[in-house]
Amino acid sequence: MEKLISDPEVSEVEEILEEYLRREYTVQLVGLCSVNYQGRAKSKLDRGERLVINKQDSALLVHGPDNYQPKNWQPEVDSYDVSIEGEELVLEARRNSPDELVEIRFEKIDMVSVTQLVDRSDLKVKGDEVDIHEAIEEDPEIVEEGLKLVEREKETDAGFIDVFGRDSDDNFVVIEVKRNPDYNTVIQLQRYVDEIEEEFSGKIRGIIVSPKMTDNILDYLEERNLEFVEIEMVDVIASYEEIDQSQSGLSDFGPDY
């Protein structure tokens, strides 16, 4: 670990961020802050104690004390601006395409850490999102009858669309595949649909394809006239149930494990 400082001075944090944010380091900040987002929409998080993580691939995550999902995030940051206004430290993270800005204002910083993580192992999971992508590519009608594939991983300014196709009525269909959809999934799908609406005329449908969906996320989806298609993993991987049952749990290991 390069640095680990508790109760740092604001000026000290400013120097650290200026030095490490633009390099391939993982930087973590814990403190009392508020968060403003401006882009295709606007959002605001009032003051609260949060963990802010800038990862080595330039992704920015803002976590609260509960829930594994970030309260706000930036999948890729193109530029940072760090400043001190009064007694507050202000961190601005901007993404150019699309134009998005996350502004974090720290009233108090309890901890800052800087480290360079090394992870050369790939997580091997049976029945992950790639398997669903490939199943749809092989047989688009597992989503709905008459669906035809136009393009996999279609590039847009908002990112890469998992599956892009046309339905039986020749409408364009934007499909986002997720094992565990959340509010961020719905927002990302809406961004893709907006991009396609700018490029093509006619009706554009947006669909989340997933093995499951909570009622809250489904309501959030339907409020935006977006759709959900539930897909059974046994339709994706014939041996999925066998794979799932063959995985060991803690009870399968002896007391000396």
CA distance 172 to 165: 6
- 30-39, 125-134, 150-159 — which one is most confidently predicted on average? 30-39
pLDDT tens track for 81-108: 999 999 999 999 999 988 999 999 999 9
pLDDT tens track for 174-189: 999 998 899 999 999 9
Q: Which of 112, 107, 192, 197 is nearest to 158 (CA)?
A: 192
What is the token pair recorded at 214? 């909570």
Amino acid at 144: E
Question: 232 vs 100, 127, 238, CA distance in Å?
Answer: 36, 10, 10
Is the CB of residue 27 less than 8 Å from the CB of residue 112? yes
What fold does the segment set 129-244 form as a domain?
Trna Endonuclease; Chain: A, domain 1 (3.40.1350)
Q: Average pLDDT of 6-20?
A: 95
| pLDDT value for 147 | 93
The CATH code of domain 3-115 reads: 2.70.180.20
pTM for the full predicted model: 0.52
Distance from the Cα of residue 73 to its chain's centroid? 7
Question: Which residue carries 């309501």 as its tokens?
Answer: 219
Rg over alpha carbons for the chain, rounded to the nearest Å, is: 21
For the chain, which residues make up each domain, given as ranges? 3-115, 129-244
Amino acid at 227: E
What is the token pair recorded at 32? 């009392």
| pLDDT value for 131 | 81
| pLDDT value for 238 | 55
DSSP tag of 14 = H
Checking if the pLDDT of 239 tops 80, the result is: no
Question: Mutual orientation of helices 215-223 and 183-199 as an angle, nearest 10°?
Answer: 20
CA distance 141 to 78: 39
What is the token pair recorded at 34? 């508020």
pLDDT band at residue 159 under the 50/70/90 scheme: confident
